[in-house]
Amino acid sequence: MRKRDASGKIVWFVRLYHEGKERRFGSFSTKTAARDFYEKAKQEQKTGRFFPERYQHGGYELIEDVIDRYLLTITTKKPMTQFAERFFAKWWKGYFASKRLNMITVRALEEARQTLLATVILEAKEKGDTNKYMTPQRVNRYMAWLRHLLNVVVREGKLPSNPVLKLTMYKEPKGKTRFLSMEDEKRLLEQLGAVHGPWARLAILTGLRQSEQFRLQWKYLDLERGLLTLLVTKAGGVQYVHLNEEAMTILRGLDSWQRSKWVFPSENPATPLDARNFYNRVWGPAVTEVGIEWATWHDLRHTFASRLAMNGQNEGTIAALLRHSTRALVKRYAHLSPSHLKAAVEGVAGFGKAAAAVRENQVQTGKAEPVPTGTVTVTGIEGSTGKDSGVEVCERFGAGDPD
């Protein structure tokens, strides 16, 4: 069809039906140009290669607009997931600023990867080390995020294919479990401050999941016995958490019991802490500031388990304290540190020597006292006997949950 533009000149438009909707394209200066477009579009429709957006608004959509629209869809995701999404989105928006979707080619992506590999990581920069660059594993996280975004774009019909799929991701170790080093923990707790630092420390001391910790109620805490009851768990059943002295000291130092039934209340004492708000306002900025933006709250649980393993605890004990019904998921912590394995084999050399020294002392002093056997019973008293061991009792507290 033809119309007159603002200057009175005749121009041509094409009316085309696509996916049950009428779309109009133009303007074309001649009828021949409009007919050529029509024939090309019909052919692309037959082969499934017709994407109307490429012919509208001056070409493909701006990448930054696509990213902004995508970010509107992540509001139901977990807070730390949202933080990670925005972290990667910010980098890609800056890299492809004012560029359109058709500029994302395999060549452009390879150039982006080289740019990332040449970037000094934040935590190294803060220490004055300008020779420590982003690892291939971390670069993969950037590419994986863009791949997911472009998969959405392809499904919307705004791109014919996803160029990230044509790249080969860098190889990286499998099964890596992320946990905080002592240095990471110190810097993070200092950044979180006097109020929120103890919260994270409590997670490291107990292995509590985020939802379990932030929805604790005072009435289920027994600080005399050092026992915490969890009525609602990932496994669906009641579970129990043993508290050490430091964990109990942290809990005793909280004053929320004076104004709320929740251990970690929100600004409204009648409701528990909003985890999403906490991540956006406190956790996210803190982990970014100290340069460990990969850290999630769940990594504090991994840190708890990792330190149990590095302290020589067996799989059964770790599984019980993590409240797992089996030991399968605990194997990830088996080979965390060669130095701890060395300490374990050194312990074999000293096995029995302590008991022999006690017996020799008894002979010299004439006092006969029972020698501890190392057995821990249901009462938790070393050297006593009983039907069940403490580890077995702990395992009964647990129920099936994957992590």
The tens digit of pLDDT for each residue in 358-395 reads 556 655 655 555 444 333 333 333 333 333 333 333 33
Q: Do domains 63-166 and 182-333 have the same CATH topology?
A: no
> What is 182-333's CATH superfamily?
Intergrase catalytic core (1.10.443.10)
Q: What is the pLDDT of residues 92-121, one digit of tens each?
A: 999 999 888 888 999 999 999 999 998 876
Q: How far apart are CA 52 and CA 287, in angstroms?
A: 42
Distances (CA, A) of 288 to 72, 83, 123, 245, 302: 22, 10, 9, 31, 19
pLDDT at 384: 36
Question: Is 80 exceeded by the pLDDT of residue 128?
Answer: no
Question: Is 80 exceeded by the pLDDT of residue 183?
Answer: yes
Q: How far apart are CA 31 and CA 17, in angstroms?
A: 19
Question: Is 70 exceeded by the pLDDT of residue 178?
Answer: yes
pLDDT at 388: 35
State the pLDDT confidence band at 283, using cuts at 50, 70 and 90: very high
Average pLDDT over residues 230-253: 84
Read off the pTM. 0.47
Confirm if 15 and 22 have CB atoms less than 8 A apart. Answer: yes
Q: Peptide bond preceding 181: is omega within 30 degrees of 0, i.e. cis?
A: no
| 63-166 is classed CATH 1.20.120 | no
Q: How far apart are CA 376 and CA 379, in angstroms?
A: 8
Q: What is the pLDDT of residues 40-92, one digit of tens each?
A: 888 877 877 666 655 554 446 789 989 999 999 998 887 778 888 999 999 99
Question: Is 70 exceeded by the pLDDT of residue 5?
Answer: no
CB atoms < 10 A from the CB of 254, how many? 16
pLDDT at 331: 63
Q: Where are the domains of the chain?
A: 2-50, 63-166, 182-333
